[in-house]
Amino acid sequence: MRSRKLTCASIKFIVVLLSQSVHSQLQVGFYGSSCSLAEFIVKDEVRNSFIRDQGVAAGLVRLHFHDCFVRGCDASVLIDSTPSNKAEKDSPANNPTTCKGVVSCADIVAFAARDSVELEGSAMMFLLEEEMGFTQEEMVTLSGAHTIGRSHCTSFSNRLYNFNGTTGQDPSLDPMYASRLKQQCPQGNTNPNLVVPMDPSSPAITDAGYFTNILANRGLFTSDKTLMTNAATANQVNQNARSTMLWRSKFAAAMVKMGQLDVLTGNGGEIRSNCGVINS
């Protein structure tokens, strides 16, 4: 819970106002002249949050992923609270003091995700969406983001205690790994905040550990082992496991491509004065 609050707080340190249309297209260094400190401020805030809680990095990458794959990269994932439930994204954060009316919420999300990966030591779920324009290899590459972060026990406990409606565990799961998970996630435990690292060997390092874990039958989720049921995806898992540098290079390219999904530019976009509310 604390990690998620830090994640959302890290996103909101620059909230901006722009009443006129945004006349721009996607380009590297777009804020170089209009707000030259923007990316440095984002990176500094992410670094400070990472020092307090390393789980922030995985949260920011996941936030960017879910923002882009649902109606494009528009930071809509930050919108909305209800009168009865204050969203964690509305946690107290830094005030909007820098470059008002210049930096978009979507770019802040993208910058934060990029800097999180760098802090973890480099440059999702397996969801092949052809209409998104991603190849199978790119989606396998993106699934490697599970090399950092944590998972709730409830997300995989069915593999430990009630696999396919039986009383046993998933036979494809490494027995020693399964035993360790059972110690961390006891049967019948109802604590919704109980979590384990997705890559126990290097939980705070962006490396190829996710893929080597899959090859050793230590993939945490059912979707992880599914990658080995197809010859093409299994081959990609093997390639990535052999070279962290190769995977990092492909991951960086896939993240850039993901960050370009249906981005609103020109008159189609707006820079929200409050990232949680659409401009009126």
Binding site as annotated, residues: 67, 70, 72, 74, 76, 88, 146-147, 199, 207
CA 16/CA 37 separation, integer angstroms: 14
Catalytic residue among 23, 64, 66, 152: 66
- Beta carbons of 236 and 38 less than 8 angstroms apart: no
Residues in the chain: 280
- Beta carbons of 145 and 268 less than 8 angstroms apart: no
Radius of gyration (C-alpha) of the chain in whole angstroms: 20
**Active site (annotated) includes residue 66:** yes
Residue 104 DSSP one-character state = -
Work out the angle at residue 271's Cα, subtended by the Cα atoms of residues 142 and 29, and round it to the nearest 5 degrees.
60
Binding site feature residues for Ca(2+): 67, 70, 72, 74, 76, 88, 147, 199, 207
Residues 6+ apart with CB under 8 A from 55: 3, 6, 7, 149, 150
Nearest to 258 by CA among 109, 91, 59, 95: 109
CA 76/CA 89 separation, integer angstroms: 12
Binding site feature residues for heme b: 146
Q: Which residues are catalytic?
A: 66
